[in-house]
Chains A and B, each alone.
Chain A
């Protein structure tokens, strides 16, 4: 792209965005009837008021919010030296969203102070968490994104559960979550304009120190820059900008990712250029997206929020950006913690785990909660209850084992301890498949729903597998491809949710996972799948021993790299898809179980895999019991309960120093 063409391109895009929004305004009211300046609601017709205090501020706020997000993304990418950093991928926006959902439900009075402080504290907390984890790993780009996505997914899962528990009352919140740009007056415009002005000033002041910082920490410190202060300031500005947009408009994903990426592609090379061009491009992107939404909506009101449309850009954009990520982290530098112990005789431990599993299963069948206390079943009740409890126990244990196997395989394959089934994209695809069946078929049966879920998972898996087959791709980036698929799926889902009819509640409920409806054949089938996966993983144990040593060593020993990667990814994908049907897309068991197995001293692949599967089964049984008992007589969603156990443990693990 030459320099002369750049202004032309920007002008054309601006004209297009203006034309789309303008067309909507003209359809709403012929230009001859437009209200005169200054705008005064008294003496206007209803149509004039709609235009002056609805459409016009909406057009302006799209520009302002886009610019704020573009600037936020540019700052984050520069300060973290990470081309895939943005408020969405780092979990900042989800943090703000969760804080607002919680405040709306638990402490509505707080909202009287305005949404800003709440959104800001949520965003700040999420960012602090992600940065704390990142700081322990030298802000390695891939780790940052995986951590950010995990934090974001957890925040969204909690927000979903809370929304679910409150029924229809929060439907407007769901729509807000989707990022709607609907405006009622000019106050939002005024706030965001102020925010953007302050942000722009701060960015201008930071431009020069950031330029020195781009030499790296040691180099910048050697030149006398206070590295910590500059970093903190830049991240704070970025967080405030993103949280402000979240507070005003909700979740508008990936504009902060797209704008700086486009700015660089269009030739912005220096940091001042990138900081100047990114907000401009961000404004145009969001304006264009909103124009499209308005055009599709026609005069009848919008069908889906603008944030859902920008989310659709995110997946493909990440895929496009991935090969451009510079350099790869050598294996081992992303190690989570110090050396784990190693047992010289692992078999007794594995035996103990099997025994624990059997005992736990028996206990869980035998005891239960009754109104007013706990009860141990007598022989008669045991016989009565067994057919009801057995299927879900089997299913929960099998799902836990399958997820743990998937996690262990992925962590060994990528040599990255943060790899987990959640970021493989299979769950996202499966959710989309489920949603598609719910929407396209009236009153679908269980078989059809299973079929749709599996089909969705398989399509996502194929997308990731296509990526795996690229020869020059470092293994860890496979994870990012999975994340891209997940991002795409969640964007589509939030668009569906925003429609807000009864069907979306079915999906919402499924997303949080439940084992209540499992039949015995279904449970046995899942158990057979888990067993088969375990055997298959054992068959690949030599690959799984070699792959953590990196592609250089593994390739030199004659390991068929592509084939091994493809088969292992497919294995993990099948395991994830099978379990997702039962526990929903998020549980963290696949992340936790392999770590626990390793910390217990299981080092060889075959022991590690078997131990992880057993621990996964134990964890999921416990989660199932907890989900049944914690809210007795009501049941909590299984997947959600598992993630509530898993997320704190995970964070503790990540925060441990090396």
Chain B
């Protein structure tokens, strides 16, 4: 099944074209990495998928054109996390997670037992239950990122879009977050599209790779397809060497 199908997707800002007629199919139920050099258009592509920026061309999500989705229905199926999460002034962790229920109860609907259960379950899944009554802004970066992930889980969307979720985290927290997302995908049959900077992280944790270069698709395939000197040179214009580890996984380092 196809999660997203893109046909001639183009994004322009005054004086520059960020995405050039991208046509692409993204598989469902996978953890998909969007990689590419700075300015390659990976964040732009993610924002276009999240309907955060206007784009021309055709995007279909779950075989339905994007304009046919109402804002709330879309938010029930798909959750988006921006690159920099805003400060949540004066908000408790459980209140922030409960905001994820907005697409379900709307502006005036009752916050019922179902919502309660979804919030509790989301905090459980992301391991933030013990912070429930702490202020969000007092948490560390890694903990805060998990709280935002919990908000997306509470949204009960089957697709998660994450814009560089680990760029501000140290290596331990980055691994923790990616493992959590991977677990969310594989155990609950969710799909995730993640913008990542680190090729090794992408290859290690994701099932499917989409690489952009100058606003065009440079590569689409498995991590094994990515981890070759030729493919990496094509994407980053840099000579890379692939080292094999004893367990068979591969690591790319600049040659």
B103 touching A335, Cβ below 8 Å: no
A553 to B151, CA, bound (A): 11
Q: Contacts A339-B137, A556-B79: A598 and B86 contacting too (C-beta < 8 A)? A: no
A332 to B51, CA, bound (A): 23
| B253 at the binding interface (Cβ < 8 Å) | no
| B139 at the binding interface (Cβ < 8 Å) | no
A557 touching B103, Cβ below 8 Å: yes
B99 touching A557, Cβ below 8 Å: yes
Give the residues in chain A near B72, CB-CB below 8 Å: 558
Interface residues of A in 494-552 (CB under 8 A from B): 539-540, 542-543, 545-546, 548-550, 552
Interface residues of A in 611-643 (CB under 8 A from B): none
B102 touching A342, Cβ below 8 Å: no
B102 touching A558, Cβ below 8 Å: yes
B90 touching A340, Cβ below 8 Å: yes
B76 touching A553, Cβ below 8 Å: no
A339 to B138, CA, bound (A): 9
| A231 at the binding interface (Cβ < 8 Å) | no
B89 touching A558, Cβ below 8 Å: no
Give the residues in chain B near A539, CB-CB below 8 Å: 107-108
* CB proximity of A118 to chain B, nearest CB, Å: 43
Give the residues in chain A near B31, CB-CB below 8 Å: none
* CB proximity of B19 to chain A, nearest CB, Å: 17
Q: Which residue of B lies closest to A344 (CB)?
A: B133
Q: Contacts A342-B135, A556-B52: A550 and B82 contacting too (C-beta < 8 A)? A: yes
Residue pairs across A and B with CB atoms within 8 Å: the count is: 83
A415 to B76, CA, bound (A): 25
| B237 at the binding interface (Cβ < 8 Å) | no
A550 to B85, CA, bound (A): 9
Total B residues in contact with A, Cβ cutoff 8 Å: 36
Instruction: From A471, A540, A559, A598, give the contact of B102 (CB < 8 A).
Output: A559
Q: Which residue of B lies closest to A471 (CB)?
A: B54
| B15 at the binding interface (Cβ < 8 Å) | no
A332 touching B50, Cβ below 8 Å: no
A557 touching B89, Cβ below 8 Å: no
Q: Contacts A340-B90, A540-B107, A604-B95: A559 and B71 contacting too (C-beta < 8 A)? A: yes
Q: Contacts A335-B87, A552-B82: A558 and B75 contacting too (C-beta < 8 A)? A: yes
Interface residues of A in 331-368 (CB under 8 A from B): 331-332, 335, 339-340, 342
Give the residues in chain A near B100, CB-CB below 8 Å: 557
| A555 at the binding interface (Cβ < 8 Å) | yes
Give the residues in chain B near A330, CB-CB below 8 Å: 84, 86
B90 touching A603, Cβ below 8 Å: yes
* CB proximity of A125 to chain B, nearest CB, Å: 32
| B88 at the binding interface (Cβ < 8 Å) | yes
Interface centre among B70, B71, B72, B80 (most CB of A within 10 A): B71
A560 to B79, CA, bound (A): 15
Q: Which residue of A lies closest to B161 (CB)?
A: A556
A494 to B73, CA, bound (A): 52
Interface residues of A in 182-231 (CB under 8 A from B): none
Interface centre among A471, A546, A552, A604 (most CB of B within 10 A): A552
A342 touching B99, Cβ below 8 Å: no
A81 to B70, CA, bound (A): 40
A–B Cβ pairs within 8 angstroms, 23 of them: A330-B86, A332-B86, A332-B87, A332-B89, A335-B87, A339-B135, A339-B137, A340-B89, A540-B107, A542-B106, A542-B108, A546-B102, A550-B82, A552-B80, A552-B86, A553-B86, A555-B52, A555-B71, A556-B52, A556-B81, A557-B75, A558-B70, A604-B95
Given contacts A543-B107, A557-B75, 15 further A-B contacts (CB under 8 A): A332-B89, A339-B90, A472-B54, A539-B108, A549-B88, A553-B82, A555-B51, A556-B50, A556-B79, A557-B155, A558-B76, A560-B71, A598-B90, A603-B89, A604-B95
Binding site for B on A (CB under 8 A): 330-332, 335, 339-340, 342, 415, 471-472, 539-540, 542-543, 545-546, 548-550, 552-553, 555-560, 598, 603-604
